Amino acid sequence: ISYDEIKRRLQAPEKMSLRSLAAYTRVSRGPASKKTLLESLNVLGLTPSTTTSVSSSFSKLTEDTRALCEDMNDFAYDYIDYSNMAKQLIPETNTVQHWSKIIETRNHLEDMRKCFRDPVNSGAFDNVTHGLGLGMLDVALDMVVMVIEQQIRILSGAAASDPADSGLPKRRVRRRHRKLRSCDDEKAHKLSGGAKEQGKILIKSKERARKKKIRQESETSGPVVTQTEQGKPENVENNVLTLVSVGYEAVSSGLSAAGTV
């Protein structure tokens, strides 16, 4: 969370308290952690209030609200049939009058957008919603403007030659990229994985051999105790030592092989 975000939360109208700030920043609620957080804020010249004035679902949101608005805009583009909606809203008569009316409406909506964006009019609303309120308002206005622009294309004849799936701007593909490991991390991961696999195989083979030996002894000398209180820790210790030794040999051989490349 950036310095500006914390500063905005501590000011009006939210005036977030130290307790709320510690909860939303995932800081422990213990006295020592709160004291450390308060000292850090004081160094930056920030002093939280004793109680939070305004608390809502928006209080849990941070500057990721821009990404939420962008996703909502993309969803509206992908799942709303603007072309079909525009055709339904075009009247069968007086199309010229309707044309001039929707152009005037579009210009009026853009004036409204500028008026909403003026901090004098909606600064407190934008502050208390942490940017999500005006962002979603932009999404709603964009949806209406998109329908109007599609109507203008149909009335002007520009949409007649368009394919069925065209006429709308293509949005960028939003994908999540998995963090790639570096070469050294990849080698270490493979070496440790190989050491673990070899250790597991040796442990299983020793366990099978021990059970086979116990069965042979039970057949010749009668029933015996399979696991005693003294033997159990010894087997576990042997298994752990075997795993450690095999892992050390695998890592050593891997490092030596990597050094000769």
Distance CA 60, CA 20 (A): 10
Which one-letter DSSP state was computed for residue 58?
G
pLDDT surpasses 50 at 243: no
What is the pLDDT, as a whole number, of residue 244? 43
| Mean pLDDT score, 153-159 | 87
Interatomic CA distance for residues 199 and 57, integer angstroms: 51
CB 132 within 8 A of CB 122: no
Helices marked H in the chain: 3-10, 18-24, 31-43, 65-79, 82-89, 95-117, 119-128, 132-156, 183-221, 231-260
pLDDT digits (tens, 9 = 90+) for 49-104: 889 888 777 776 665 688 889 999 999 999 999 999 999 999 999 999 999 999 99
CB atoms within 10 A of CB 59: 18
Query: Confidence band (pLDDT; 50, 70, 90) for 117?
Result: very high
- For 126-137, the pLDDT digits (tens) are 888 888 999 999
Distance CA 52, CA 16 (A): 4
Q: Tens digit of pLDDT for each residue in 22-56?
A: 887 776 667 778 888 888 899 988 999 889 888 77
Q: Are 191 and 250 in contact (CB under 8 A)?
A: yes
Q: According to the model, what pLDDT value does residue 160 have? A: 74
State both tokens at 27: 């800081």
d(CA 108, CA 111) in angstroms, rounded, equals 5
| pLDDT at 116 exceeding the cut of 90 | yes
